[in-house]
Amino acid sequence: MTTQGATAAELPPRLCSACVRLLPVAGASISIVGSEGSPVTLCASDGVAARLAEIQYTLGEGPCRYATQVKAPVLAGDLTDGPDSRRWPLFAREAVAAGASAVFSFPLSQGGSVLGTMDLYDPVPRRLADRYIPVALRAAEAVTLALGTLHHEQSTGSEAGVAWFLQAEANHEEVYRAAGMLMVRLGVGADEAMARLRARAFSLDRTVTEVAKDIVNRTDDFGASD
């Protein structure tokens, strides 16, 4: 991957573009595990890849989430039918509607920990050929190394925030705020608040980020009507 000379802002998009060039896929995204334990999208090569990341964040299920849990690649070659569609039925339906019938997730592992995932998609059902698996694994290693180097370069102390990480996580700040508001309004814990937020988004066919913005802006009377 050619990322030499890239700035902190340029590096993630370059990594996504390099993944698409290296592998026979239509698009890619890179997500990192946020401070709340949920994946935060760092970059996406196109709108479909970005939508897939948001769908998994909204539903709390999918290859990306599972790859983080099992610390191993998760290859869903056919989300339209068969075992892959039944493993994550809600995600499969939404992913196909968004334009992705195959999704391949590779964990970004470092020192036994998973920092995030590299997620690839294709619009038609297909398996990732065996000869490309080693390539994808090496790409994931390169992404991990590049992000780790950026983290090291931007860190100035053990308590210092890393600019690129904070910028990516800021995209979900309103979700955390909305969940906090629901905790107070409904008298529930953090997990229950997030579950209700996700259920609300799913019932309205919207993303959890969109619903969270309405709650924060007080244009959604969640507590009054539920």
- Compute the average pLDDT of residues 143-164: 60
pLDDT per position as a tens digit, 85-127: 999 998 999 999 999 999 999 999 987 888 899 999 999 999 9
3-class secondary structure per residue, 144-210: HHHHHHHHHHHCCCCCCCCHHHHHHHHCCHHHHHHHHHHHHHHCCCHHHHHHHHHHHHHHCCCCHHH
Instruction: Please tell me the distance from the alpha carbon of residue 173 to that of residue 195, in angstroms, as a whole number.
Output: 17
Using pLDDT thresholds of 50, 70 and 90, give the confidence band for residue 226: very low
Considering the entire predicted model, what is its pTM? 0.75
pLDDT per position as a tens digit, 2-39: 555 556 567 778 888 999 999 999 999 998 876 566 67
Using pLDDT thresholds of 50, 70 and 90, give the confidence band for residue 177: confident
Quick one: pLDDT at residue 134? 95
Least confident of 18-32, 53-67, 161-175, 187-201: 161-175
